[in-house]
Structure 1
Amino acid sequence: MCRVVDLQQAVLAKNAMAADVLRTELAARGTTVVNLLSSPGSGKTALLERELLLARERGIAAAALTADLATENDATRLSRSGVPVKQVLTDGLCHLEADMLAGHLHNWLPQDTRLLFVENVGNLVCPASYDLGESLRVVLASVTEGEDKPLKYPTAFGLAQLVLVTKADLAGPAEFDETAFRRNVQQVNPGVEVQLTSVRSARGAGLLLDRALAAAEGRSVHAPVMARAQA
């Protein structure tokens, strides 16, 4: 009798095991991973650069790994923060996987790193299904992307432990309906925290860093219903 194997599920199961191993290994050395997901152009790099600068000012040992299909532009920008930064070029792959991340961290990540921010490939589809050994998963969406983004990408938003709305200074010109956006987020992920941010106006400055530190200290982190259902 032929056995039908769901290749996608097998790949995700293998990745989940690798993610658990990586999470355990990093936790043993005191490092917490924060996985950042968003569409291209959401302002993810600008927000992360600001948070890395704040981490350095506060004396928090942070590092960043950024993934893109091509160019090292994001790593160049993030390096201005003064923290260790590594660029990963995926050569067309639309997401990172736990094994890939572990390989890139080997012999690079400073031993005393407390927070490792991973700027995933700009994409709300492929990266959403892959655990990277993170303790905090953050999904970002700009006010210019529309209020229905959470409904269009339910897996990405449904597995988020924190949702950040970027470019809040443009909410007026973009006619962004904050109430509708929050309602749509709660529809796919009840109880998740949603915060508006703006690098230009400094709104929400330090919020991502504070939530990352809370996760590092073992304080309560939102448990998405979707994640519990998959467990």
Structure 2
Amino acid sequence: MQIDIKQPILGKNDELAKKNRDLFAQHNVFVLDLLASPGSGKTSTILATIDALRDEFNIAVIEGDIASSVDAEKIKAQGIAAVQINTGGACHLESDMIRRAVDVLDLERLDLIIVENVGNLVCPTDFDLGENMKVMILSVPEGDDKPLKYPGVFQASEAVILNKVDTMPVFDFDRDAFYASVNQLNPNAPIFPIAATKGEGVAEWAEWLAEQIRAIQ
């Protein structure tokens, strides 16, 4: 006899995610779920995105980490509301965690919530949070072979950010091979090459995101 525990877990999560999605839609809040591995530059990308969009949109951030509140403090230092979720070991965020975090935010005043998911290229793809879209961040030092090794996260994402492109001369990164792999897995996903800490390419990514936010308002 085989017992599948995954489906009941995902089923409950999906029910709560639908309630989250309905809540966000009622308030016209766009929710972005950022997926990436540790060290890819999630927080620096979030900070650069905030800097590009804060004049037009009211933004809050939900930070997911196994432990600590380091990233949330960086966001708060920029005058942006941030809620820290510590999973205590879980490798992903779930819809009930998002709902509890959202309860301390003023949705009436928000246009965009950015969720920084736990650094992981596998299990976060399975969990719907009620978000409008998932976006994948990969950094050049991680290597151009990641779409081949972790296809699920690229297939689940509506856009791909290639971060730290300023380091490309230092690393053996085949940009053409990377683009071809992503396009094969997800031909509709645009790819945005950026260097978040330097601001390079951020304007193009931010404008694309702004178009998605405007579409629901």
Q: TM-score range by the shorter chain?
A: over 0.9
The answer to whether the 8 A contact 1:32-1:115 is kept is: yes
DSSP 3-state at the match of 1:206: helix
For structure 1, the 5+ residue unaligned runs are: 220-231
Distance 1:215 1:6 in 2: 37
Structure 1 residue aligned with 2:21: 23
Q: TM-score, normalised by structure 1?
A: 0.88
Alignment of 1:10-159 (within 5 A): 10-56=8-54, 58-159=55-156
Distance 2:45 2:89 in 1: 25
User: 1:199: Cα distance to partner?
Assistant: 2.0
Q: TM-score, normalised by structure 2?
A: 0.93
User: 1:202: Cα distance to partner?
Assistant: 1.8
DSSP 3-state at the match of 2:48: helix
The answer to whether the 8 A contact 1:136-1:215 is kept is: no
Q: Deviations over 1:109-147 (max 9, x none)?
A: 442110000000011111111111111211000001111
The answer to whether the 8 A contact 2:93-2:117 is kept is: yes
Asked if 1:194 corresponds to 2:176, the answer is no
Task: Specify the code of the residue in structure 2 equivalent to 1:29.
Answer: H
The answer to whether the 8 A contact 1:167-1:199 is kept is: yes
Structure 1 residue aligned with 2:171: 174
Distance 2:127 2:164 in 1: 27
**Number of residue pairs the alignment of both structures matches:** 216
Distance 1:29 1:88 in 2: 22
DSSP 3-state at the match of 2:173: coil
Question: Please, what is the CA RMSD of the aligned residues?
Answer: 1.7
Q: Deviations over 1:75-125 (max 9, x none)?
A: 111223211111111111111001111011113344211000000001111
For structure 2, the 5+ residue unaligned runs are: none
DSSP 3-state at the match of 2:118: coil
DSSP 3-state at the match of 2:202: coil
Query: CA distance change for structure 1 residues 218 and 6 in 2, over 3 Å: closer, same or farther?
Result: farther
Q: Deviations over 1:145-200 (max 9, x none)?
A: 11110111111111110000000100111122110101111222222111100024
User: 1:60: Cα distance to partner?
Assistant: 1.3
The runs of at least 4 consecutive aligned structure 1 residues that moved more than 6 Å come to: none
Q: Deviations over 1:29-80 (max 9, x none)?
A: 1111000000000011111111112222x14101101110111111111223
Query: CA distance change for structure 1 residues 59 and 214 in 2, over 3 Å: closer, same or farther?
Result: closer
Q: Which one has more relative contact order, counting CA pairs under 8 Å at least 6 apart?
A: 2
Distance 2:84 2:205 in 1: 21
Aligned with 1:6 (options 4, 7, 26): 4
The answer to whether the 8 A contact 2:13-2:95 is kept is: yes
Distance 1:107 1:80 in 2: 18
Percent identity between the aligned chains?
34
